């Protein structure tokens, strides 16, 4: 057995201009990792390294050069892979400075160990028997565009809706929330908002108090990350539950994770495996959240269906889940066909629907490292 890893740089094209408080997205570059044994090339494990521009800890100019070097380092070791040595390999080969590469390698190895079927964890979800509850995501844009998205989500059966806020006029955003609340009570439709750190410290509490009048479930990251004292103060006094998102990025040591959560004491944390260093790091966050009585849910980070599939199957290991942020598979024109489908506000895995990864081999040469 001689394990080899390589990757393909792949550009995902959005179906629409996706607005956030950090700007508008029209495409996303990702890196699809594949792991195989040259003695049995029929078994291939796929993973995805997809740092988010302007957000990921490893959004840096030397990202691809580093990924190339990690592939070479892995190949030079002539490794054998078992479930027990997977975390050892990750720790010794890849720096924690590159969380999305950790996620890509971890999921490629898990897929390989499970036979290269894109079923990383056997569960009721992967067998098509249990769907995952998800929220419907409303992207920023013109008021008309946001209203259109809201109507589409309500008509297709979502009972939890999450609005990106912070980029357009605050009064207009409040009008959109009021429009939903005029039609649906909090018991009928759960509303979440995500500010992506858009509020200034001076205005944050007043805006939280205003938003609380709409019966919201929570707000993600009201102020920019890196202000733990102020965030702790907001969490103590906010009438609206606060969820940390960007605040968790870059916290790779267990003791640092614990100190952060203990200091801020948020009501919720948002777990994005691509941004946090993969499933092992999410396990640590979940364990700490349980000890500190903090709620959590998992969110994709605009991965292709390869990364989304891994995140969804990881999430499905847990029971009694809040609606998760896993509804991003329909964002792209050129996503990979997969068993993942959304029906009535739930994410399902249909084992009868095959994967189509032909974009990774037809017309594209995998870069051999």
CATH superfamily of 132-349: Enolase-like C-terminal domain (3.20.20.120)
pLDDT-flagged residues of the chain (< 70): 1, 19-23, 361-369
Give the H/E segment covering residue 19: strand 3-20
Catalytic option among 28, 153, 162, 164: 164
What pLDDT score does 9 carry? 95
153, 162, 207, 272: which is the annotated catalytic residue? 272
Q: Domain extents for the chain?
A: 3-119, 132-349
Residues 31 and 50 sit within 8 Å (Cβ to Cβ): yes
Question: For residue 302, what are the contacts with CB-CB under 8 A and spacing of at least 6?
Answer: 12, 25, 28, 50, 52, 328, 331
Looking at domain 3-119, what is its CATH homologous superfamily? Answer: Enolase-like, N-terminal domain (3.30.390.10)
**Residue 165: per-residue pLDDT:** 87
- Three-state DSSP class for 313? helix
State the pLDDT at residue 366: 46
0.85 exceeded by pTM: yes
pLDDT score of 26? 82
pLDDT given at position 369 = 39
164 is catalytic: yes
272 is catalytic: yes
Q: Alpha helix locations (H) across the chain? A: 63-76, 86-93, 99-113, 143-155, 170-183, 204-212, 228-237, 254-264, 273-276, 279-291, 305-315
User: What's the pLDDT at 274?
Assistant: 97
From CA 58, how far away is CA 4, in angstroms rounded?
23
Q: What single string gives the DSSP state of each residue in 113-158?
A: HTTSSS--S-STTTTTS-PEEBPEEE-BS-HHHHHHHHHHHHHTT-
- What is the structure's pLDDT at 222? 96
Strand pairing partners for 269? Answer: 244, 296
pLDDT digits (tens, 9 = 90+) for 5-63: 999 999 999 987 776 656 677 899 999 999 999 888 889 999 999 999 888 999 999 99
């Amino acid at each position: 057995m001689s394990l080899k890893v390589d990757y393909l740089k792949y550009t995902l094209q959005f179906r629409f201009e996706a607005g956030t408080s950090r700007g508008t997205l029209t495409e996303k570059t990702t890196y699809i990792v594949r792991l195989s044994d040259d003695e049995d090339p029929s078994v291939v494990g796929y993973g995805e390294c997809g740092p988010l521009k302007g957000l990921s800890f490893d959004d840096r100019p030397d990202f691809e050069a580093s990924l190339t070097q990690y592939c070479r380092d892995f190949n030079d070791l002539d490794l054998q892979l078992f479930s027990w040595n997977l975390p050892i390999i990750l720790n010794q080969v890849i720096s924690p400075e590159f969380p999305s590469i950790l996620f890509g390698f971890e999921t490629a190895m898990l897929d390989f160990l499970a036979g290269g079927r894109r079923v990383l964890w056997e569960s009721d979800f992967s067998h098509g028997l249990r769907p995952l509850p998800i929220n419907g995501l409303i992207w920023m844009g013109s008021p008309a565009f946001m209203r259109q998205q809201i109507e589409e989500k309500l008509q297709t059966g979502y009972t939890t809706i999450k609005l990106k806020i912070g980029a357009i006029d605050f009064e207009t955003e409040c009008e959109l929330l009021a429009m939903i609340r005029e039609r649906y009570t909090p018991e009928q439709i759960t509303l979440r908002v995500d500010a992506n750190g858009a509020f200034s410290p001076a205005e944050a509490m007043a805006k939280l108090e205003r938003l609380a009048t709409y019966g919201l479930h929570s707000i993600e990251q009201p102020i920019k990350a890196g202000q733990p004292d102020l965030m702790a103060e907001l969490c103590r006094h906010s009438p609206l539950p606060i969820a940390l998102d960007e605040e968790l990025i870059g916290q790779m040591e267990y003791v640092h994770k614990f100190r952060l959560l203990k200091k801020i004491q948020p009501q919720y944390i948002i777990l994005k495996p691509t941004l946090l260093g993969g499933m092992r790091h999410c396990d640590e966050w979940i364990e700490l959240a349980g000890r500190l009585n903090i709620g959590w849910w998992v969110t994709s980070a605009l991965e292709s269906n390869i990364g989304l599939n891994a995140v969804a199957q990881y999430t499905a290991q847990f029971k009694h889940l809040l609606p998760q942020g896993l509804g991003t598979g329909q964002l792209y024109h050129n996503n990979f066909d997969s068993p993942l489908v959304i029906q009535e506000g739930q994410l399902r895995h249909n084992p009868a629907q095959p994967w189509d990864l032909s974009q990774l081999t037809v017309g594209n040469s995998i870069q051999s490292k």
